[in-house]
Structure 1
Amino acid sequence: MAAPSSTRSARIDALRGLAVFGILLINVWGFVYGYTALRYGVIDASATSADRLAVFFAAAFAEQKFYPIFAFLFGAGFSLQMRSLAEKSGMDDARAIYLRRLKWLLVVGLLHGTLLWFGDILAAYALTGFWLLRHAGESWPELRRSLRLAVIVNVGVLLLTAIIMATIATMADYGAETADEALLANDIYTHGRWMEVTKARIGDFGMNIGGFWLFVPRIALLFLLGVTAVQLGWLTHPERHRALWRRILLVGAFIALPLNVWWGYEALGWALEPETSSRLVHMASFLLELAGPALAAAYVALFMLAGERVMNVLAAWLAPVGRMALTNYLVQSVACGLLLQAYGLGLGAVLSRAQLMLVVAGIVLAQVALSRWWLSGHDQGPVEALWRRYTYRR
Structure 2
Amino acid sequence: MYTANTPASACRLLHLDAWRGIAIAGILLVNVYAFGLPYAALNNPYLLATAKTADAYNWLLTSVLLDGSFRAILSFLFGAGLMLWQERLPPVQGGQLFFRRMSILLLLGLCHAYLLLWFWDILFMYALCGMLLFTVRKWSVSRLACLSLLCVFIADLNSNRKLLDDKMAIQQYELPNNTTAYKQLPKELNTQLLRVQSEREIIDKTTSFCRLYHQQLQRAWQVETVDFPGFYVWDILIWIILGIIFYKLKWLTGQVPPKLYKGLFLAGIAGLYLCWQRVQPAWQNNFDPIATIKDTRWQYYELARTLRSLGLLGLLIWIWQSGRGKGLWLLFAPLGRLSLSNYLVQSVVCAVLFYYTGFGLFGQLSRMQLLLTALIIIVLQLMISHWWIKKHGAGIAERLLRK
TM class by shorter chain equals: 0.7 to 0.9
Residues 277 and 179 of structure 1, relative CA distance in 2, 3 Å threshold: farther
Is the partner of 1:70 in helix, strand or coil?
helix
Cα distance, 1:146 vs. partner? 4.3
Describe the superposition over 1:190-226 as per-residue Cα deviations: whole angstroms up to 9, x where unpaired. Answer: 4341110100000000110121112213322322211
Does the 8 A contact of 1:56 with 1:267 survive in 2?
Answer: no
Task: Mark the CA change 1:364 to 1:375 in structure 2 (over 3 Å): closer, same or farther.
Answer: same
Structure 1 position 244 matched with structure 2 position 264: no
Seen in structure 2, the aligned counterparts of structure 1 residues 287 and 281 have a Cα distance that, compared at 3 Å, is: farther
Specify which of 298, 305, 315 is matched with residue 302 of structure 1.
315
Residue 145 of structure 1 and its aligned partner are, at CA, apart by: 2.5
Letter in 2 for 1:63: D
1:202 is aligned to: 217
Corresponding residue SS for 1:120:
coil
Give 1:110's aligned amino acid.
L
- What residue is the counterpart of 1:123 in the other structure? 124
1:41 & 1:218 partners in 2: Cα distance?
25
Contact 1:19–1:69 (CA under 8 A) maintained in structure 2: yes
Q: Which one of 143, 148, 153 corresponds to residue 145 of structure 1?
A: 143
Does the CA contact (< 8 Å) of 2:33 and 2:42 recur in 1? no
Alignment correspondent of 1:233: 250
What is aligned with 2:336?
322
Aligned to 1:10: 14
One-letter amino acid of the counterpart of residue 223, structure 2: N
Q: Which of the numbers 181, 198, 206 marks the counterpart of 1:183?
A: 198
Would the alpha carbon gap of residues 24 and 160 (structure 1) be closer, same or farther in structure 2, given more than 3 Å must change? same
- Would the aligned equivalents of 2:148 and 2:239 in 1 still touch at CA under 8 Å? no
Aligned amino acid, residue 134 of structure 2: L
Residues 165 and 360 from structure 1, CA distance in 2 versus in 1: closer, same or farther, beyond 3 angstroms? same
Using the size of structure 1 for normalisation, the TM-score is: 0.86
- Note closer, same or farther for the CA distance 1:150–1:55 as it changes in structure 2 (3 Å cut): closer
Matched, 1:343 2:357: yes
TM-superposed CA distance for 1:32, in Å, is: 2.8
Identity in percent: 29
Residues 52 and 69 (structure 1), Cα distance of their counterparts in 2 relative to 1, 3 Å cut: same
Question: After the TM superposition, which of the residue ranges 275-284 and 373-382 deviates more from structure 2?
Answer: 275-284
CA contact (8 A) 1:321 1:368 kept: yes
**What displacement does 1:343 show?**
2.5
Which residue of 48, 56, 72 corresponds with 2:60?
56
1:331 aligns with 2:348: no
1:320–1:375 Cα contact (<8 Å) kept: yes
Aligned to 1:134: 135
Where do 5+ consecutive residues of structure 1 fail to align?
A: none
CA shift in 2, pair 1:139/1:354, >3 Å: closer
Residue correspondences, number:
374
Tell me the equivalent position of 1:98: 98
Q: Residues 153, 383 of structure 1: CA spacing in aligned structure 2 closer, same or farther, 3 A cutoff?
A: closer
Alpha carbon RMSD of aligned pairs, Å?
2.6
In 2: Cα distance, 1:244 partner to 1:266 partner: 33
Q: Relative to 1, partners in 2 of residues 1:166 and 1:139: Cα closer, same or farther, differing over 3 Å?
A: closer
2:87 corresponds to: 83
Where structure 2 has 5 or more consecutive residues not aligned to the other structure, the ranges are: 1-8, 171-184
Structure-2 residue corresponding to 1:259: 274
Within the candidate set 30, 36, 55, 1:32 is matched to: 36
The question of whether the paired residues in 2 share the 8 Å contact of 1:55 and 1:268 is answered with no
Name the amino acid aligned to 1:197: L
Segment drifting more, 199-208 vs 92-101: 92-101
Q: Is the 8 A contact 1:54 1:353 kept in 2?
A: yes
The amino acid of 2:302's aligned partner reads E
Task: Give per-residue Cα distances to partners, 1:254-299, cap 9 Å, x unaligned.
Answer: x1112223445555567x5435542366457x22221112111111
Evaluate the alpha carbon distance shift between residue 130 and residue 50 of structure 1 in structure 2; reply closer, same or farther with a 3 A threshold.
Answer: same
Distance 1:24 1:182 in 2: 25
Alpha-carbon distance in 1 for matches of 2:146, 2:274: 26
2:301 corresponds to which of 281, 284, 288: 288
Q: Is the 8 A contact 2:20 2:77 kept in 1?
A: yes
Rg larger for: 2
| TM-score (norm: length of structure 2) | 0.84
**More displaced, 187-196 or 101-110?**
187-196
Q: Which moved more, 1:228-237 or 1:196-205?
A: 228-237
Cα offsets for 1:65-100 (capped at 9, x unmatched): 111111111000001111122xxx22x312211111
